[in-house]
């Protein structure tokens, strides 16, 4: 058996594809030296708002900051609670805790790995201010019941859409289904900068203006500071990169869906392996393609030997992270999240993955289970 190296993600082929378009646009920024809040930032904000079917978008320095500033714009802070999912990247919870609010976790729906709306009401307290669903792996959370619960209890909804640029739920774009949505533009995301970046979307003009002020030292007019803001601007070069990549996002998401379909078709009929379950009312954008098996660790080791890189998203749930040891969360508290953490495995996924690479991965997986 010849070994083929299959990386988890490779960002170089996309750079080659857009290089001719990108380099002159980046050079123009270097010539004009408009590095901070240059015109391309507003251009990208307009384009991303239109793409996300929202009225406003505001570029910020990271996905984490997008979450923090969304919460600050909604006047959420110390003493307030925000309900989110136990199975997510640490940034979701950190966005809440780092502005002094308290993350309150709920367990997941094992079919989709997203927050289970049926568990939200039991987590609501008099201090609850908002619900923050995460569209994990690129599949939108079940927003209708989440929004209905929020409305009933007078809560805000903030989407963490960092893994779901371009996804749809019942026809609506990720980022357009809540009060404010936060996106990461980290290089490996479906829409990724060549460095850190983030963006916030909303239909509310005053929240958008407040975030634009907060990201720039609380200032709208230079040296006049209305609030204690932050330095969290999306820089001009990253806005140029993202604006060009935005034109290729739908095509990249289509390719991701085709890759997922090929994986799923070729992995049918293995008793101990579950392929992703997709809600019939969503357009999944497969930021990650996550399989589930009780033999996860042995499978990952076998694939590594065969030259295939896999990753676990995420091996340690939020409530078991040492960083949150002071919260009183216990092992066993979110059993479906914990069970998933022991069994999930993300296979290589990026738009330029070839059929040969996909087939090699699925052949190796079949031979592992058939051995
Ligand atoms: C990537 C990610 C973030 C944070 O993004 P950064 O740009 O790295 O700060 C937040 N939430 C989720 C679900 C993510 O995947």
Q: What is the pLDDT of residues 351-364, one digit of tens each?
A: 999 999 999 999 99
| Three-state secondary-structure class, residue 72 | helix
pTM of the model: 0.97
pLDDT of residue 21: 97
Which distant-in-sequence residues (6+ apart) come within 8 Å of 177 by Cβ? 140, 143, 147, 157, 159, 169
pLDDT digits (tens, 9 = 90+) for 28-59: 999 999 999 999 999 999 999 999 999 999 99
Which distant-in-sequence residues (6+ apart) come within 8 Å of 192 by Cβ? 11, 185, 186, 242, 245
For each of the domains in the chain, give its residue range(s) and CATH number, in order of start.
12-246 (3.40.640.10), 249-370 (3.90.1150.10)
Tell how far the Cα of 121 is from the centroid of ligand 1, in angstroms: 26
Between CA 63 and CA 73 the distance in angstroms is: 15
Between CA 368 and CA 301 the distance in angstroms is: 10
pLDDT of residue 251: 98
Q: What is the largest CA-CA distance in the chain?
A: 69
pLDDT of residue 99: 98
pLDDT of residue 275: 98
pLDDT digits (tens, 9 = 90+) for 204-260: 999 999 999 999 999 988 999 999 999 999 999 999 999 999 999 999 999 999 999
| Three-state secondary-structure class, residue 106 | strand
Which distant-in-sequence residues (6+ apart) come within 8 Å of 338 by Cβ? 317, 320, 331, 332
Q: Which atom of ligand 1 is nearest to the CA of 136?
A: 13
84 lines ligand 1 (CB under 6 A): no
Tell how far the Cα of 63 is from the centroid of ligand 1, in angstroms: 5
| Three-state secondary-structure class, residue 49 | helix
Tell how far the Cα of 224 is from the centroid of ligand 1, in angstroms: 31
pLDDT of residue 307: 98
pLDDT of residue 274: 98
Return the structure tokens found at 247.
Answer: 């034109």
Residues in the chain predicted with pLDDT less than 50, given as ranges, are none
Indicate the helix (H) or strand (E) that contains 212.
helix 205-214
Return the structure tokens found at 68.
Answer: 């923090």
Between CA 296 and CA 344 the distance in angstroms is: 7
91 lines ligand 1 (CB under 6 A): yes
Distance between first and last Cα of the chain: 14
Three-state SS sequence of 232-299: CCCEHHHHHHHHHHHCCHHHHHHHHHHHHHHHHHHCCCCCCCECCCCCCCEECCCCCEEEECCCHHHH
pLDDT of residue 136: 98
357 lines ligand 1 (CB under 6 A): no
| Residue from 184, 187, 318 whose mutation best tests the ligand 1 pocket (most atoms within 8 A of CB) | 184
User: From atom 2 of ligand 1, which residue's Cα is the shortest distance away?
Assistant: 162
Between the alpha carbon of residue 137 and those of residues 134, 152, 312, the distances in Å are 9, 28, 12
pLDDT of residue 2: 86
* Helices 39-51 + 236-246 axis angle, to 10: 30
User: From atom 10 of ligand 1, which residue's Cα is the shortest distance away?
Assistant: 91
Return the structure tokens found at 17.
Answer: 């594809």
Between the alpha carbon of residue 266 and those of residues 131, 259, 307, 355, the distances in Å are 37, 11, 19, 11
85 lines ligand 1 (CB under 6 A): no
Q: Quick one: which of 123, 124, 127, 48 has its CA closest to 81?
A: 127
Q: Quick one: which of 156, 138, 69, 153 has its CA closest to 278?
A: 138
């Amino acid at each position: 058996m010849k070994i083929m190296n299959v990386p988890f993600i490779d960002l170089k082929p996309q750079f080659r594809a857009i290089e001719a378009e990108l380099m002159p646009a980046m050079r123009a920024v270097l010539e004009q030296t408009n590095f901070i809040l240059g015109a391309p930032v507003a251009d990208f904000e307009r384009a991303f708002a239109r793409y996300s079917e929202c009225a406003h978008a505001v570029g910020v320095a990271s996905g984490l900051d997008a979450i923090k500033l969304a919460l600050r714009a909604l006047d959420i802070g110390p003493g307030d609670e925000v309900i989110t999912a136990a199975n997510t990247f640490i940034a979701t919870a950190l966005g809440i805790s780092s502005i002094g609010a308290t993350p309150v976790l709920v367990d997941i729906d094992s079919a989709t790995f997203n927050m289970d709306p049926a568990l939200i009401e039991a987590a609501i307290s008099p201090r609850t201010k908002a619900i923050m669903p995460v569209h994990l792996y690129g599949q939108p959370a079940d927003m209708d019941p989440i929004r209905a619960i929020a409305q009933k209890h007078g809560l805000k909804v903030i989407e963490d859409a960092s893994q779901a640029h371009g996804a749809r739920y019942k026809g609506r774009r990720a980022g357009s289904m809540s009060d404010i949505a936060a996106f990461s533009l980290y290089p490996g995301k479906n829409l990724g900068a060549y460095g850190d970046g983030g963006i916030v979307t909303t239909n509310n003009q005053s929240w958008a203006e407040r975030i634009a002020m907060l990201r720039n030292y609380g200032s709208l007019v230079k040296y006049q500071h209305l609030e204690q803001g932050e330095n969290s601007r999306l820089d001009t070069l990253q806005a140029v990169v993202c604006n060009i990549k935005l034109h290729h996002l739908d095509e990249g998401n289509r390719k991701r869906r085709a890759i997922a379909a090929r994986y799923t078709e070729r992995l049918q009929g293995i008793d101990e392996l579950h392929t992703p379950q997709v809600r019939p009312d969503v357009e999944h954008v497969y930021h990650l393609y996550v399989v589930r098996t009780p033999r996860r660790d042995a499978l990952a080791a076998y694939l590594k030997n065969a030259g295939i890189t896999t990753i676990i998203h995420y091996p340690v749930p939020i409530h078991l992270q040492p960083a949150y040891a002071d919260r009183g969360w216990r092992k066993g508290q979110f059993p479906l999240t914990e069970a998933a953490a022991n069994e999930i495995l993300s296979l290589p996924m990026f738009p330029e993955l070839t059929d040969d690479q996909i087939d090699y991965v699925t052949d190796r997986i079949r031979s592992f289970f058939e051995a």
